[in-house]
Each structure stands twice: as structure tokens, then as C-alpha cells.
Structure 1
Amino acid sequence: MSVALDPVLLHHIVNTLGWPDLRPLQRAAVAPLTAGDDALLLAPTAGGKTEAAIFPILTRMATEGWTGPSVLYLCPLKALLNNLEPRLERYADWIGRRVALWHGDVTAGKRRAILAARPDILLTTPESLESMLVSVNVDHRAFFSGLRAVIVDEVHAFAGDDRGWHLLAVLERLTHLVGSPLQRVGLSATVGNPGQLLDWLQGAGAGQRPATVVAPDLPVTATPRVPPGDIELDYVGSLPNAAKIIAALHAGEKRLVFCEARQTVEQLGQLLRGHGITTFLSHASLSTDERRRSETAFAEARDCVIVSTSTLELGIDVGDLDRVIQIDSPATVASFLQRLGRTGRRADTVRNCLFLTVRGESLVQAAALLHLWGSGWVEPVTPTPEPRHIVAQQLMALCLQEHRVGDQLWPEWWNGLAPFDRGAEPIARHLAGQGYLDNDGGMYFIGPEAEKRFGRRHFMDMTAVFLGPPEFTVFVGRDELGRIDPCLLTEEVPGPRRLLLAGRSWQVTYIDWKRRRCFVEPTESGGKARWTAGGFAGTGFELTRATREVLLGADPPVKLTRRAMDQLATQQEKLSSVVHPGGTVVLRADNHDLRWWTWAGFRANATLAATLSEVVDPAQRFDDRYIRLREDLTPASWRALTADAADRLCLPEVSTKALDGLKFSAALPERLAVATLAARLADLTGAARILAEPARFVAVR
């Protein structure tokens, strides 16, 4: 094996792991990473990305004599860190180096040991990293003085939301603290814009440091081809029918079933157990211990099923899978690729996924997603626009970290990275004016309003950029089972109050309202599961347009069962009047209801509704597919109104009540908080594309 890795590492790769050679991604990553380049490593799930990153970084560590902690390994999930720790410990130990884990579940004793005997590689989350920076128990200057490189696993999971801005801001503060650039290495599944994602990961160093996208396993071809895989699309009509099919198929095999909601996971888990299937569950509202028990038991079993939300979509190892089954459709092609990549890891198997759709609409959406997948399209990962609330959070966090910061010098901590640069001065002045920051002698420090709003638990509320729903923790005796929505405890019910959690029914015995705790005991049946959904982003432009293409007759390049073909034909006939190959449709129904069927996605329709507010129904009613218009609209007035609409697109209107879901929005002027939400609800490009198409007026009698 001829590659420029540390000789001791090479010895163990060949003799301990028994690898005759590196994979193409791993071989291609050696040169740029050992040279110190920033890089984005792209490969499907189980493509060897972790080794592709860590072997060259360990080589640099050994060759250049780094002292720890010299490497941060960041993940979006604690469970992924837990899963990676033993593997990275093994690799580091080959060259006499140490690995440590630091996140919210790590005990205080273990943290003190880490601070006393600093490891070479620290596995953590961005939130826990910032907690270290602001903690009075961590000498962050001394602890991070040897930092040289950062590996960000599942980087695409960060980049598309506010956790990405938080990650970048914390990395810039660390760079300023260390006084020299940090090598940044991102690991990602397939994305539609790898070059832009790497630029984003580089932060303030973009365009100034060498950067390489490493993706030899994902060749770019001029002609799109259907990716390999055994994919089947079925229509089963109900969740009980889906459970019957899962129970009857693939006996003796290990199956991973993905659902789009925690409630569906719980219901399907109970149904499968009713069929005598060994079933495990995983979702975000189960306790850490409960999920770990399920994932460990599943990894060690054979003839069984694990039912999960997207929590098992990322690279957590659950053993050697035989089958992936999808209930209804994931929201993105990228998500489907992650799930598909869970299978086909053995040499004698192929990647596979069986879609079991329970509604006609979800069948059409699944067909649309597979149509996009077959064309080789994957969503680009784009940062959320205008993260002003994260700027406010970072200014307060920096004052916690440094205690006092010059009111003209604070932008230096982000090395010129927008929007944390001089352009954020109005936000800084607002924070000082409202008491979130105090100013004395030209120095900012934490003010009384910040302590009042975010000071609980030693300012732990300030390190997380999302607001979590107010859930109750469920206990069986002293053991934590998981969390539930409070509505299950407040709604009126006849007889005993029963819950469905971890795939089993429980009867409530006591509720501690003050501490948000609920105590239960097992019962035979009758439990209910429910969680309040988060903010609704709707379906995107491309997927909604692909839905229109399917309704117009496009076939996904996969196997369709007879049931699926029949139901798809039913849906195409049902919606034939609202799709047309020549453009959009304005349909007047016999009840005078007038709808503009754009098939543009939620955000583009929100933008169009705001721009054409004169003729949109006063209630601003729209969804992913259509916008409801005023009944008195005529074709002539429509043409006059839309003639210049693309030149005057408006951001959607946002209710101030919606600000409750934007953490740290209280630390912003209300107009800026509203502008942030409006920018995130808009799709100006999609709206302009729709306005460029002809609109056909149709009346249904």
C-alpha cells in the first residue's frame, strides 16, 4: 500500500484491520489533508469518510508533533459521537494518542479528568464546545492552545439551518483564540453544491486557504443515469396494512423502517409487536438510555425490525442491515440517499428500499421524489438567510467567554465573517440599549436582561440556538422513558389516562406539573402518542414541481406494484384539471372557489401571495400547490396585475406571534426579527419562475 501515511498507521491498517488497500475516497484524501488543505469529503453512507479524514490528520499529528487537544471532531448528534468514540480511540491508540468525549451526558468527574489530562482528539457538539468556551471551570485559552484541525461530520446536517451559523461563529472565535487558521475538514453525504458547501465551511478563510472537494466515488457524468439500487414503490392504504406487509416479508432479515413522525413510529411499533415481530424504536423523544438499548439490541439481533424517525438517518452504526423500508416519503432526495445508503454494505447485496405509502398524496410525493432521484438531482445545501438572532446570541456568548470585550474590538473575534462583522453594530447597540449588554469605559459585558432571560443553569440556555417544545419527561419508577407533548396530559379523557411510548401502552399514575414530570406503569393497550410539529417549512420548489410532472405522466425509474400503478392512475385522473404541461392553471370550481395551481412549493407560494395581495383571498390561504384568489378576479385583470409582478416581488408577511419560535428574537429589534423570518419564508427565485409561465384560466362545471 503506497500512500503517504504515518508508517505505524499503515502497519495497523494492513495488519490489524486487514485492509489490502484503501478505498478510493480514503486514498484521494491523503495528499490534500496531509498538506493541510481544507477539504470536503463526499461519499454515500458507509463510504469510509471517517477513516478518510482521521488517518491523514493522525499522520499530521505524529509528523508535526501536535499536542492536545489538537483536533476537534464535531457531530450533530451525541449518539453519533458515542458510536464513533471506540473506533477513533482504536486508531489514535496505534500512534500513542488519546481520544475523549465531551457532551451533555458526560459526567462532571469525567470532564474534570479531561481538563486535567488533555486528550489529543476531543469529540463534541458545537453546543458543548461553546459551553466550554463560556464555562468558568474551563481555562479555554490554555485548553485549546494546541488546536490545529477541526473535522465536522455530517456537515450538510449543520449547513442548512441555524446550527450551521452557530458552528461557523464558534469556529471563528476559536481561530481568533488560537491565533492561526484551523484546518477544516467536512464529511458529507451527496449534496447538490459541494463547492459552495466547502466555501461555507471555510468561513472567513474562504478564498484565502487551499480547499479541495474529494469525491472519487461520485463521478460527474454528462448524461444522468439512474443510480443503482433495488427500489420498489407500493401503495398499502393504511398503517395497519403496512404493518401486515412488514410482518409478512423478509422473515429472518434485519429491517430498518423509517417514518416521518414520532407518532407514526410509536403506532407502527405497537402494530408490529402485535404481529409477534421483535421490534425496537428510535426517535428524539425517547430517553437516551432507551434509544441506546434499542439500537444496541437491534445491532446484535437478526430477525427483527427497528422503526425510526430520521434519528437513524445519519451515520450511527446499527449493524449489518438487510432491508430499508420507508413509510410514505421523506422530505428530500438527500434524506432518501442517506437512508438508502444504510443497505448494500455486504459484497453480495445491493442497496434497496421498499416504499409503503398509506395515502394517495404520499404515493404521488414518493413517486416525485424518486423521479428526481432517477434524474441524478440532489438538493443544494444552502445556509438560512439573515441569522440576526444568532449574531445577538454570539455577542452575548463572547461577553460571557471574555467577561469584558471592547465595544469597537468585538468584530475581530469573527475575523471578518459576515454577518458577525461591522455590519452587526446596530444589533450590538440594541443589546446595550436594552440591557442585554452593559457598557462601562468602552467595554461590553453581560447585562441584567441577559441574565434574566438566559442565565438559568449557568447560561446553558445561551449555547443552544433552537427552542425546544415544552415536553414532559416520563418515568417508569426511577427510569426515564422519554418525553411527551403536554396536550396528552391536559386533554379531557374518559377513564384512565394512557400514553403510547417506546411502542408500549402506559397508564399515568402521577403528574408533577411544577417539574414537568409524569409517572406511569405498564398497561395492556389504549395508549395514545402525539407530538406538536415544529415550524412548517412545507415542500420545496423542485419536489413540488416534480409532483406536477408525475401527475402529468412522468414515471419514476423504479418498480411499481399493481396497487401503486392503480392508485397513481386514480390520483392523476383526480387532479387532471389542475395540471397542464403548458403552464399554471387558474381553476374556478362550480362553488365559485378560485385557485391558482402553481405547484411551486410553500415558500414560493408565500412569496407570490404577498406580491399579489390585491387579488389573493384575504385570509392568504395557500399551500405547496395552490393559492386561493378572490372570486371576482377576471383574466384581463390578472394579466394586467402579473405583467410586472416579477420585478416587484415582496417578502411574505410574518405575524409577530411567530417570533416565539425564533430563539433570541427577544434580543433583536422587532423589525429585524420579523425581517429575518420573512426572508426565511420567501423563495424569490421560485416565484419568478412561476410568473414567467403562462397561466390558463379553466372553469369546472
Structure 2
Amino acid sequence: MSGETGQTQVEAWFRNREWEPFAFQREVWDAYTRGESGLIHAATGTGKTYAAFLGPVIEALSEPIRQRTPRRRADAAPLRVLWITPLRALAADTEQALQQAVEGMALPWRVESRTGDTSAAQRARQRTRLPTVLVTTPESLSLLLCRADHASLFADLRCVVVDEWHELLSTKRGAQVELCLARLRALCPHLRTWGVSATLGNLQVAADTLMGLDATGMPRPARVVRGVVPKAVVVESLVPETMDRFPWAGHLNTKLLPEVIRRLENAESAIVFTNTRSQCEIWFQSLIAANPDWFIFTAIHHGSLSRAQREDVEDGLKTGRYRIVVATSSLDLGVDFAPVDVVMQIGSPKGVARLLQRAGRSGHSPGRVSRIVCVPTHAFELVEVAAARAAIEAGAIESREPLDRPLDLLAQHLVTLALGGGFTRAGVLAEVRTTRAYHRLTKEELDWVLAFVMHGGDTLRAYPEYAKVQYEEGTYRVTDRRVALRHRLSIGTIVSDHAIAVRYLTGRRLGTIEESFVSRLTPGDTFIFAGTPLEFVRLRDLTAWVRRAKKRAGAVPRWAGARMPLSSELSAAVRDMLEQARMGVFVSPEMQAVKPVLDTQADRSVIPRPDELLIERTETRDGHHLFVYPFEGRLVHEGLAALWAYRIAQLAPLSFTFSSNDYGFELLSPDRAPLEEALESGLLSTAHLLHDITNSLNAAELARRQFREIARVAGLVFSGYPGQSKSAKQLQASSGLLYDVFANHDPDNLLLAQARREVLERQLEASRLTRVLERLSRSDVRVVEVERPTPLAFPLMVDMTRASLSMEKLADRVRRMTVSAERPTRSGSASVFRFGPKDAPPAGKKRRVRK
């Protein structure tokens, strides 16, 4: 049977379902049959799954019937297609979609999944024979590579599909996929690899990273296929009837709830997206409190809920049992359900790609318009929505950069290979260098990691528990069964604050919350979780035992890593939007609504130009304030605030308190800071940046905390056996002790260096911080003396007091601050300084400030 016949059968199956293949799908199928690999980039809901999968199906249909038809059901074709998904929640839906195609073409293939949720019986069956199509996660794939017979398991593999590659790229899980692909390509030299991605700016980099390099170090050919189906996206906002001139983060909170309810009342189905799990719980409770009758068709979905509850919600969306779901990013990705009528976004999306991804859940099919309604939680988020819309129209989508040599993950992978039959030094060096993540790995770095997995390095050589890999006759192997078991239980890169199970006294599991939250509870306390008020009874065996609470009010758990900064692309779009406002252009409804706020800002100070850094100074009874507005995102501003405080303190013995948000940061000191002198001395310079940042923060303590994750991934600490997990305090103590040992006796330890790099990049976005300083050093610096805080300064002042006050006391304080801020200021009370690139002095001379 010819290749054309195989594609004819596929197209006939499409016609039977009243579908028509798109040109980009045919392009992928043709490329696959020619032996090519690549990356598919298309909007959500436009057929990427079948574009990637039906190439191998066409290939099978083109083979002689006797070659693809087994004599018995038990002889079903061996593993041919491996589908890697980043989320276990996606595996079931993907398996179902692939199964429909296989059955529709009458192929004698088994389609199964293998994740942490797979039953013990199915895993046992897969030990003897894998299905023809296997849907799995990076962690489960690594577990398969631990098997000594993995070479024979993958001997007939033809194709690997990596789904949602944009979510894996730039993470350690993405690097883990790269390493696994390198192993599979070594086993199957003609393996074809296809990635599936949406909403990504640097497509060619993503494709090259997925393909890796060949044996000569040259990039493998990668075809980038773009979906040609136009996908219109409509972004709108709910605008408050009245707008406070001095807004602060969260001041709208759920004040727009009545308008949200009106939108939801007329929707057949809706998803209300929030940025954090805490916000998700709050909005679910608010909807139910306002409409108790909605409880039967309204649900909550986030990553800390139990798998059973999440699956129930996903099934309810498919069947129509649930009409409204309040969710986090747990529903961002390709969980398959019917398109919803209304998608809402609570608060700023913080990124253009995230807004597009969530908008794609409506109109989730080719040719339909995707719509999303944004609900601001403070006035300036209206500016962000308008900026995001403009960025979408301009095609300014965020890029994601791959990681460079995370050695903790390499150590884990080497133990996997040693357990899976063993490896040689030369062989593994050549293999891992074919990945983008490790193509610059030096022989010295590899030797250091080999010594680490063999005996923990020179410092830990005396402790047998760190001797995992044995070197015998030129091959590295794992021979200890205890080491093998602990390694299998520890595979993966996902590390967070230790999860505490939440169970009713009857035993039913609700999900997990972080240990840091539970540690603050006492018996009888009420908290809200899984959309339900719960009374805390006791903590025992790493389980929070609860019962339903009689009262509806209670604390909402907070999870680490919840606050997301503005992306670089959205930050730039916000600066452009403010420039239009400075010029008196207010086109969008969002900008028209926020015009009174920006008019007040312009009246009391200025709206800065994109090439201008605005600094406002004022004095209150709390002290002397500096408000600085780079508009570059919260993480960058946290780093800048610490850096400025350190550099200014080198000129005058001042102590600073600082706060930051996505627009700027505040420095508060008891005495007036020598700002102009600091600017002359290189306050905005990138020189000695690493040294100054390290000294401006408690970098050693931050690295010590980050080392806990690295120690866990590298296998230095063990989380415990099932049912005997260690607490977060125990793990932190163990990793902290190891950190101190290395810092004191092995300061050149490569894992310590990695911890320092990850702190700078993850917590401060150091590379972005460098680019920001370079931009600011080329900008005019405008210093404005203001009599009272401006609208841009007001939320920073609120954040400064937030940590020490309850929400009720904070609201009272904010009301008093608002009354004070609303008082008119004297005309002409501002004095303006300009400090720009044209004032740059010759090398070795100070800059000058002109008044």
C-alpha cells in the first residue's frame, strides 16, 4: 500500500467526521513521511494534536497489511510512538484523542498512558510489553530509562512527540526531556521528533533546543510549521463605574463581583481564571456567597486539589454538569473539553502569552473567535490590559530561553543511566553534548559530576550513603538495590515547600497545602480550601485532619511562588501606553477609564517618557521617600531596590526599608538620601553588578535556601519512602548542613555555584536586571520633588505598611492615607532635575547634575 493510500485513509476519516485537514497538518504529515523532525506552532484548538500524531499513523497504514497486523491481540505492535506531556492531567485526554484516531483507522495498536496516576495493574502489564502508543511525563520516561532492558523496550520507536513544549522550555523539566531524547536517539538513530507549541516568541530557538545537535556538534535540521488558520482574539475589560485617583493593589478586590455575575448569568459555560490558588479560593467563595444556588454547577480547579476532584471538574466541563469553573493555570493547557462561552481573567495576566493561552479556551476550535474578559483588581491593571491588547496586535509574544548546564539534573540523569544498564565516560559525554542544555559541558565538569555520584565528591567521600554509582571495567553502574529504590522514588525536578495532605476525619482526601501555612494553625482554626470552610483538628503523620466548619469565614492558604512579575514584553507595552497618555491619547476604553488617575499623576508630577526614568521625592512623618519607576516588573524592582539601597549607603550611613511592585520601587530612610551624588557615582552602572547585588542582599542565605532544591534533584537528600516522608524542616536542615559543609570545606563545589546562579536568575532575574540598568543608563533621569504621594507612589506606600497590619487595619490606614493624598497641592511645588546620557563624563570623571 502506498504512502498516498495511507494519507487517503486519514483524509477519509476526517471527512467521516465532517472535518477538512488544514494545510499545516498536511505539511507536517508530508514532512514526517520524508523523515523530517520539527516544531508545530499553532493556536489552541486548531488541530495540533492530529497534525503531530497522524504522520506515524499514515506511515503504518502505508505498510503491507501483514507487516502491521499481528497474528494475535497479545502480539500488538511494539512501542512506535512516545507522547510526552508536561501534566498528568493532560495524559487521559490525549490518550482518548489518539485512541479515537487509531480505532477510526482500524489500526491494531494499543494506546495507553503511564504517569504517576497509572494503576499498579497497568504498570505491571507494561513491565513486560509497552503499548504501541505511550503517553507519559518526563518523570515517568526517566523511570523507564532506569530499566536495564530499556534498549529493547525502545528498539522499534519511530516518533517522539513533546506536547506543550513552550511550558517545558527554560525549565529543568525541559532539560530532563533533552537528556531523555539524547538517550533515545542513541538507541534509535532514525528517530523523528516533533514538538507541539503555542504562544511562544522564539520559535527557532525552541525548535533547535528540542532537536539538539548531531555527533559533529551541528544543529539537527528542524522544520518549523506554523498554523495558517487565523485565530481572532478579542480582549475586553470590566471597567468600574468610579475610579479612585489613588489606587492600590487589590483595592478593587471583588468589588466588580456584581458585574462578573451578570456576565456569568448569561453564559452557557465559563472559566474564571485567577493568577494564584489563593485568589481562586477567594473568588469561588465570593461567587457562591452571592449566589448559593450556583453551588451545584460551579466548581473550583487548581493544582493543590486532589486528583479525584480535578478529574471530576474536568469531566463536569465536558458533560456540562459544571457551568462555571474558577481555575488557575491548571486549566491553561490542553485539557480537552468543549469550548466555553466566556473566559474571564481576574487581575492582570502579567504576560501576553498567558493571556492568549487563556483566551484560547473560548472559541476552542478552528475559525472561531476567542474572547476573554479581564477583571482588574486595581486601576493600573487597566493599563496592563490595554497594553496586552496592543502587544497581541503587534505580535510581541514572550520568548523562553533554554537552561545552561544544570549539574544537579545531570547528576540525577547519570544515576538513571547507571541504573539502566550502565554507561562509559566517553559515551555519556558524547551523548549529553548533543543536547542544547549541555553542549558546552566540559570534561572537567563531567569528571566532577562523576566523582559526585560515585562518592559525593572529596568532602563526602567518607560517607557510604553518597556512594551511588560503581565503576567496574570501564563502565559506571548502580549495583545497590537500596540506591536503586531511593533513586526511583526521587526522580524529577519539581520541588516546592513540603506538601501536607488535607483529609477529612473520615479519610477522604481533599488535596495538599504547604507546611508553612499549616504550621500557623491551631486546633479549632477555620480556613478555606477546595472551596469549603474547614476546621483544623490536628496535624499528624504529615496530614492535616479537618472537618467541615460551621462558619463560612476563614483564612485562605497561601502558596509559595504565587506572585508573578510583568514580562519584559508587557512591561515595554505598558511604557508605550503611558507615552500615549502623556501625549493626551486615550483611545481604548481602559485608558479612558484610567484617565483621571493619570491626569492626577501628570498634575502632581509627570508621566515619564519611555526613554526617561522618573524619581519622585517626598517627606512624610514616616521619613524620606524615594519612588523610582522603571516599569520593568516586580522581581527586577526588588533587585534594583536592594542594589540602590546598598550603593547609596556606600555614600552615607543610611538604613533603608523598601517595597516594590510591577511599576517601581520605594526606598524609605530616616534622613534624606544623597540621590544626586549617587547618580554621579554610578548608581545606574552595570559595573561590579554581581558584587554589589551579592552584598546588597543576604545572598548567602538565599543561596542556602535554593540549595535545598538542588540537593533534592542531585540526590543529596532523600524525601523519604511512601508513608514516611520527611518534613520540610528536616529536609531544609539536611540541605542546610550540607551547604555549610561545602561552603566551609569545598568552596569551589559546582553545586554551590549553581545555587548562586539560580538565586540571581530566578529571584532577581539578573540577566534582565542587567539589560534594564543598561537601558536606564541611556535614559534621562528626572527627579521630581512632590508635596504628597502621587497615584504611582500610593500603592508602594500601601505595600510598605501591608506586612505589619491586618486587612481591616490596613483598610483603615489606607482610607486615612487617601484623605491626605486627596488634599490639593500648591501649584509649582515640584522642582525638576534632568540627568541624561548627554551628561556622561569622560572615563574616570564624575557625572554632573543640572538643575
Aligned with 1:325 (options 331, 344, 365): 344
Structure 1 stretch displaced more, 122-131 or 543-552? 543-552
| Distance 1:186-1:499 versus aligned 2 partners, 3 A rule | same
Structure 1 stretch displaced more, 609-618 or 69-78? 609-618
SS at match of 2:527: strand
| Distance 1:196-1:367 versus aligned 2 partners, 3 A rule | same
| Distance 1:619-1:165 versus aligned 2 partners, 3 A rule | farther
SS at match of 1:641: coil
Aligned counterparts of 2:656 and 2:586: Cα–Cα separation in 1: 40
Aligned counterparts of 2:772 and 2:3: Cα–Cα separation in 1: 47
Deviations 1:240-270 (A, max 9, x none): 4343223222425211110111122122222
Aligned counterparts of 2:334 and 2:500: Cα–Cα separation in 1: 29
SS at match of 1:330: coil
Deviations 1:219-249 (A, max 9, x none): 8xxxxxxx83332112456444343223222
| Distance 1:85-1:438 versus aligned 2 partners, 3 A rule | closer
Aligned counterparts of 1:557 and 1:467: Cα–Cα separation in 2: 45
1:572 Cα deviation (Å)?
Answer: 5.9
Counting only pairs closer than 5 Å after superposition, residues 295-694 of structure 1 correspond to structure 2 as: 295-301=314-320, 304-345=323-364, 350-402=369-421, 404-417=422-435, 418-419=437-438, 421-423=441-443, 424-425=445-446, 426-431=448-453, 432=455, 433=457, 434=460, 435-441=466-472, 443-445=475-477, 458-476=486-504, 477-491=506-520, 496-508=524-536, 510-521=537-548, 523=550, 525-534=552-561, 538-554=565-581, 560=589, 565-567=592-594, 569-570=596-597, 573-574=600-601, 577=605, 579-581=607-609, 582-590=611-619, 591-602=623-634, 604-605=636-637, 613-615=646-648, 621=658, 623=660, 624-626=662-664, 631-635=672-676, 637-641=678-682, 645-646=685-686, 649-650=689-690, 652-653=693-694, 654=699, 655-660=702-707, 662-664=709-711, 668-680=750-762, 681-682=765-766, 683=768, 684-694=770-780
Aligned with 2:257 (options 220, 225, 243): 243
Structure 1 stretch displaced more, 567-576 or 653-662? 567-576
1:109 Cα deviation (Å)?
Answer: 1.0
SS at match of 1:256: strand
1:341 Cα deviation (Å)?
Answer: 1.2
1:632 Cα deviation (Å)?
Answer: 3.5
SS at match of 2:316: helix
Counting only pairs closer than 5 Å after superposition, residues 240-279 of structure 1 correspond to structure 2 as: 240-249=254-263, 250-274=265-289, 275=291, 276-277=293-294, 278-279=297-298
1:356 Cα deviation (Å)?
Answer: 1.1
1:620 Cα deviation (Å)?
Answer: 8.5
Aligned with 1:148 (options 158, 165, 172): 158
**Normalization by structure 2: what TM-score?**
0.73
Q: Is contact 1:473-1:516 (8 Å) kept?
A: yes
Q: Is contact 1:155-1:188 (8 Å) kept?
A: yes
1:103 Cα deviation (Å)?
Answer: 0.6
Aligned counterparts of 1:598 and 1:529: Cα–Cα separation in 2: 33
Deviations 1:472-504 (A, max 9, x none): 2122423322112335544356x8333322222
SS at match of 2:35: coil
Q: Is contact 2:298-2:322 (8 Å) kept?
A: no
* Structure 2 match to 1:223: none
Structure 1 stretch displaced more, 75-84 or 201-210? 201-210
Structure 1: give runs of 5+ residues left out of the alignment: 220-226
Kindly report the root-mean-square deviation, in angstroms, between the aligned alpha carbons of the 2 structures: 3.4
1:73 Cα deviation (Å)?
Answer: 0.4
1:559 Cα deviation (Å)?
Answer: 5.9
Percent identity between the two aligned chains:
24
1:584 Cα deviation (Å)?
Answer: 0.6
Aligned counterparts of 2:416 and 2:377: Cα–Cα separation in 1: 47
User: Residue type of the partner of 2:559?
Assistant: T
Deviations 1:617-657 (A, max 9, x none): 766946344355684424355134258x3465437433333
Structure 1 stretch displaced more, 198-207 or 455-464? 455-464
Aligned counterparts of 2:587 and 2:53: Cα–Cα separation in 1: 37
| Distance 1:192-1:412 versus aligned 2 partners, 3 A rule | same
| Distance 1:232-1:245 versus aligned 2 partners, 3 A rule | same
Aligned counterparts of 1:447 and 1:635: Cα–Cα separation in 2: 66
Q: Is contact 1:132-1:140 (8 Å) kept?
A: yes
| Distance 1:528-1:649 versus aligned 2 partners, 3 A rule | closer
| Distance 1:45-1:348 versus aligned 2 partners, 3 A rule | closer
* Structure 1 match to 2:169: 159
1:195 Cα deviation (Å)?
Answer: 1.0
User: Residue type of the partner of 2:167?
Assistant: A
SS at match of 1:499: strand
User: Residue type of the partner of 2:648?
Assistant: V
1:699 Cα deviation (Å)?
Answer: 1.9
SS at match of 1:505: strand
Q: Is contact 1:578-1:587 (8 Å) kept?
A: no
| Distance 1:618-1:73 versus aligned 2 partners, 3 A rule | farther
* Structure 1 match to 2:144: 132
Structure 2: give runs of 5+ residues left out of the alignment: 69-76, 241-250, 461-465, 717-749, 788-851
**Normalization by structure 1: what TM-score?**
0.87
Aligned counterparts of 1:239 and 1:560: Cα–Cα separation in 2: 20
Aligned with 2:191 (options 182, 206, 211): 182
Q: Is contact 2:267-2:342 (8 Å) kept?
A: no
1:579 Cα deviation (Å)?
Answer: 4.1
| Distance 1:358-1:211 versus aligned 2 partners, 3 A rule | same
User: Residue type of the partner of 1:528?
Assistant: A
Structure 1 stretch displaced more, 520-529 or 112-121? 520-529
Structure number with greater Rg is 2
Deviations 1:24-61 (A, max 9, x none): 32122222122121111111110100011111121223
Structure 1 stretch displaced more, 691-700 or 142-151? 691-700
Structure 1 stretch displaced more, 659-668 or 22-31? 659-668
User: Residue type of the partner of 2:647?
Assistant: E
Say yes or no: does 1:99 pair with 2:111.
yes
Aligned counterparts of 1:447 and 1:273: Cα–Cα separation in 2: 57
Structure 1 stretch displaced more, 265-274 or 315-324? 265-274
| Distance 1:101-1:303 versus aligned 2 partners, 3 A rule | closer
Aligned with 1:211 (options 216, 222, 225): 222
